[in-house]
Amino acid sequence: MIAPVRRLAALCALAAALAACGTDQAPRAARPAPAHPSPAQSRPAPAQPSPTPSRPPSPSRPPTLAPGPAGLTPVFSHAPRTGDKAVALTFDADMTADQGARAAAGERFDNPELIATLRALKVPATVFMTGRWAEEYPAEARAIGRDPLFEVANHSYSHYAFTDDCYGLPTMPEDRMRADVERAYAAFREAGVPDARPYFRFPGGCYDRRALRAVSGAGVTAVQWDVVSGDAFATDADAVARDVLDGVRPGSVVVMHCTRSAAPATERAVRVIVPELRRRGYRFVQVSELIGAANGRR
């Protein structure tokens, strides 16, 4: 019964996100399904032929959504449900600003094996990266950002929550929210990441009207999801794969993680997910393509 519950919770989060987009109402505290705790929190106890990836859009003009009424940041969670069986795998590269000591002690917040598998399988993907992660792993951030298979998007600098009561994450003061987003872009530039996308994922997926308004000046589209992988803290790769395979629909955005200390099963799950979705006729795209499709349907 776990997968249906997760899908129902994800659909509830989707409904809240859609309510914030195209109306003058934002969710009071839109949050992802409880099955998606943030790996940046304290950690609990422990092929088929690959088709050529879709051509990414021009980095000079990545598509975005128009701001919502009252200047609210637009929210995107999946593309229009058409006959195009496109799906975007997204990976959050989480690291909070105060986790340097854990990294110095040997905890790994990166996942080079996952990135290598995506490359081997030729899977386009969007990596939502924190600025702190880019500072900790600048060579990896640069390599991801310069690989046309991937696009780098913004997951904040500090990975502090933009609302209260968000999986135990420290809370970002409202007057620092926009600066935190902009600081992440500065960290990407410092690491040598070219053309980071104007897409932003709230830490923990938690946002409200105040947060949407606070980051509106940064010129970003907030990107949520409609499929929860459940990979955070998971050790059963098959269960993660089942949740994704059961939830994907044409135009889906799947949330996963690129943090091996807190999402150790993700790489193994991807090796199950990718060939099966391809067998079902799906193709993998970056978020840019899905947002472009959404613009085309307006």
Task: Round to whole Å and give the CA distance between 83 and 188.
Answer: 36
Is 90 exceeded by the pLDDT of residue 23? no
Pairing mode, strands 227-228 and 252-257: parallel
- Asked if residue 219 is part of any domain, the answer here is yes
In a domain, 30, yes or no: no
Residue 260 lies in a domain: yes
**Residue with tokens 């949330």, as numbered in its chain:** 255
Residue 187 has pLDDT above 60, yes or no: yes
Task: Look at 10 and 114; give whichever has higher pLDDT.
Answer: 114
Q: Which residue has the higher pLDDT, 20 or 160?
A: 160
Q: pLDDT-based confidence at 61, cuts 50/70/90?
A: confident
DSSP three-state, residue 182: helix
CATH number, domain containing residue 277 = 3.20.20.370
What are phi and psi for residue 278, nearest 5 degrees? Answer: -65, -35
At 256, list the tokens.
């996963």
CA atoms of 236 and 40, how far apart (whole Å): 19
Once rounded to an integer, what is the mean pLDDT over residues 226-246? 98
The mean pLDDT of 7-18, rounded to a whole number, is: 39
Least Cα distance to 90 among 257, 249, 240, 218 occurs for 257
pLDDT of residue 243: 98
Q: What is the rounded average pLDDT of the residues 233-251?
A: 98
Would residue 240 count as lying in a domain? yes
Residues 89, 108: Cα–Cα separation, whole Å: 22
Average pLDDT, the chain: 86
Per the structure, the complete domain to which residue 123 belongs is given by: 2-21+66-296
pLDDT digits (tens, 9 = 90+) for 71-110: 899 999 999 999 999 999 999 999 999 999 999 999 999 9
| pTM for the predicted model, two decimal places | 0.84
Strand partners, 88: 253
Ramachandran angles phi, psi of 253, nearest 5°: -115, 120
> How large a percentage of the chain has pLDDT more than 70?
79
Say how many domains are in the chain.
1
Question: How far from 182 is each of 135, 177, 236, CA to CA, in Å?
Answer: 14, 9, 36
Has residue 278 been placed in a domain?
yes
Domain contains 109: yes
Checking if the pLDDT of 139 tops 90, the result is yes
Closest CA to 219 of 76, 75, 73, 57: 73
Measuring CA to CA, which residue among 85, 75, 10 is closest to residue 244? 10
- For 281, the token pair is 């006729």
> pLDDT value at position 41?
53
Average pLDDT over residues 30-51: 48
